[in-house]
Amino acid sequence: MRFIKKEKAPDCLDKLAKRHENRPYQSAKICWKKLKKVCKSLIRQQMLEEQQYLCAYCERKIENETDAHIEHIKPKSFYLEKCFDYNNLIVSCNGNQCSNVNQEDYEDNIHSCGHPKKNYFDETKFINPVELTDISDYFSYHIDEGRIESSEKDPTKADYMINLLNLDNPYLNNGRINAKKALLKVIQKSSQDKQEATKIFKQLLNFNPPPAFITYLRYYFHHSLNRNDSNV
C-alpha cells in the first residue's frame, strides 16, 4: 500500500455531498443510487489518475474498467455521512473476479482487496492510504518470495490490513515476483555494469505511471540492489 494524494472532488460529486449534508438520505443503498452513471465514470477516471492506475490496496495494474470498483474506505452502511465524501473514495481491483485471474490455478483463497473487505472496518486499526503519507513504512517483504508482512512500525495495524484485504496470497505474491523479474530483465538487457544497472532501476521506479507492485519493487531496490540509496 502507498499514499494516495487526493485532488478536488468533481463538481457533480460535490453537489451531491452538499445535498446529502442538508437533507441526508435514509440509507446507503438509496444514497449511492443518486450517483448518476456519468458522474461515477468521471469520479472513477479521476481516481485512477490519482492512483496512477494501480489498485489502492494491492497495487496491481488496473487496465480494464470491469476489473475495478469504487471503494468506500469507511463503509457507507455504517458511515452514511461519508457516502459522497471524495476523500473516502478510492479505486480497488476486484480481486479474483478480475478477467486475468483464474482461482482454479490456486488451492488457497486469492480473493483480495475491496470485495472481501466488505463492511469490516476497525477505525483503530485501519491504515488509511489517503491520510498517511508514510503508509508504505508499515509493511516489509520477503524479497525472494514476494510475500508481504508487517514492519516494526506498527505490527498490529499492518497485520490487520494484510488479513482484512488478503494481501499475502499466492496470486499477489507471484505478481510481485514477476514484476521484479520483468524489471530486472529490462535492466540486464540495458547494462551489465552494476552502477549503471542501479541507475536504470532507479529511473524505472520513478516512471509515471509506475509499474505494478511499486512499493515492493522499491523495497527490493533498497534492500537488495542499492542499500545506500534512499532517494528513490
Q: What are phi and psi of 61, to 5 degrees?
A: -70, 130
Residues with pLDDT less than 70, the chain: 191-192, 225-232
* Residue-level pLDDT at 128: 98
pLDDT digits (tens, 9 = 90+) for 16-44: 999 999 989 989 999 999 999 999 999 99
Other CB atoms within a 10 A radius of the CB of residue 186 amount to: 14
Whether the CA torsion 143, 145, 151, 154 is positive or negative: it is positive
Number of domains in the chain: 2
Residue with cell 483464474: 102
Other CB atoms within a 10 A radius of the CB of residue 208 amount to: 5
Tell me which residue of 205, 168, 131, 27 sits closest to 222, measured CA to CA.
Answer: 205
- Whether 134 and 218 map to the same domain: the answer is no
* Residue-level pLDDT at 187: 83
- Whether 88 and 24 map to the same domain: the answer is yes
Average pLDDT, the chain: 92
pTM attached to this predicted model: 0.92
- Whether 191 and 204 map to the same domain: the answer is yes
User: Contact at 8 Å (CB) between 123 and 110?
Assistant: no
User: Contact at 8 Å (CB) between 28 and 43?
Assistant: no
User: Contact at 8 Å (CB) between 47 and 70?
Assistant: yes
pLDDT digits (tens, 9 = 90+) for 91-123: 999 999 988 888 888 889 999 999 999 999 999
Residue with cell 458522474: 39
Other CB atoms within a 10 A radius of the CB of residue 45 amount to: 13
Give the number of residues written for the chain.
232
* Residue-level pLDDT at 223: 86
- Whether 108 and 216 map to the same domain: the answer is no
Tell me which residue of 97, 112, 82 sits closest to 1, measured CA to CA.
Answer: 112
* Residue-level pLDDT at 200: 82
- Whether 179 and 206 map to the same domain: the answer is yes
* Residue-level pLDDT at 160: 98
- Whether 70 and 181 map to the same domain: the answer is no
- Whether 83 and 188 map to the same domain: the answer is no
β-pair type (89-93, 139-142)? unpaired
- Whether 162 and 178 map to the same domain: the answer is no
- Whether 208 and 166 map to the same domain: the answer is no
Tell me which residue of 53, 61, 57, 72 sits closest to 111, measured CA to CA.
Answer: 57
Establish if 187 belongs to a structural domain: yes
What is the crossing angle of helices 11-22 and 37-50, to 10°? 120
Find the domain containing 103 and state its range.
11-139+149-170
Establish if 2 belongs to a structural domain: no
Establish if 1 belongs to a structural domain: no
Tell me which residue of 72, 41, 43, 40 sits closest to 56, measured CA to CA.
Answer: 72
- Whether 83 and 159 map to the same domain: the answer is yes
What is the rounded CA–CA span in Å between residue 107 and residue 116? 17
